[in-house]
Amino acid sequence: MKRYAAQGELILSIDAGTQSIRAALVDLAGQIHGLIKTPIEPYFSDHPGWAEQQPEYYWRMLCETCRKLFETVDSAERGIVAATLTTQRGTYINVDRQGKPLRPAILWLDIRKASAREILNPGLVSLLKAAKLYDLVN
């Protein structure tokens, strides 16, 4: 059964978390007109300590969640005047110049770490140590 949003402006609020993607339609008075939660596969791990997910999977699940939400609230898309988005902390998606993902996303709970000594010029390492900044990048 579809709910009908009161005439007026709606905010599309999206929360892409580690276990699910949620989408809600909220009016300017704070009344929730629709809320959908879609569980997601949090990550996959091809190596111990890795936590990754396909960027396309996130997009597909976001679209599916919003589509379900719009099916529950009549004429919702026409009333949206703003959108909010919250996501997991520290998840990185490396993209090319056209914005196409180069690899799976690296999630915040991944424990891979590069040693600054291995990737920085030795002169820069010395300079960072002298400025007491080495621990910030290592």
- pLDDT per residue of the chain (138 residues) written in tens, 0 to 9: 445 455 679 999 999 988 899 999 999 999 999 999 999 998 999 988 899 999 999 999 999 999 999 998 876 677 899 999 998 778 889 999 999 999 999 987 767 766 666 777 788 888 888 888 777 666
Whether 5 and 27 have beta carbons less than 8 Å apart is answered as: yes
Percent residues over pLDDT 70 in the chain: 85
User: Would you state the pLDDT for residue 6?
Assistant: 52
End-to-end CA distance of the chain: 55
Q: What is the pLDDT of residue 117?
A: 66
Scan for tokens 């600054």, then name that residue.
Answer: 116
Element (H, E) at 105: strand 105-106
Whether the CB-CB separation of 122 and 108 falls below 8 Å is answered with no
- In this predicted structure, what is the pLDDT of residue 137? 66
Second CATH level (architecture) for the domain 3-107: 2-Layer Sandwich (3.30)
pTM above the 0.75 mark?
A: no
**CATH 3.30.420.40 in the chain, residue ranges:** 3-107
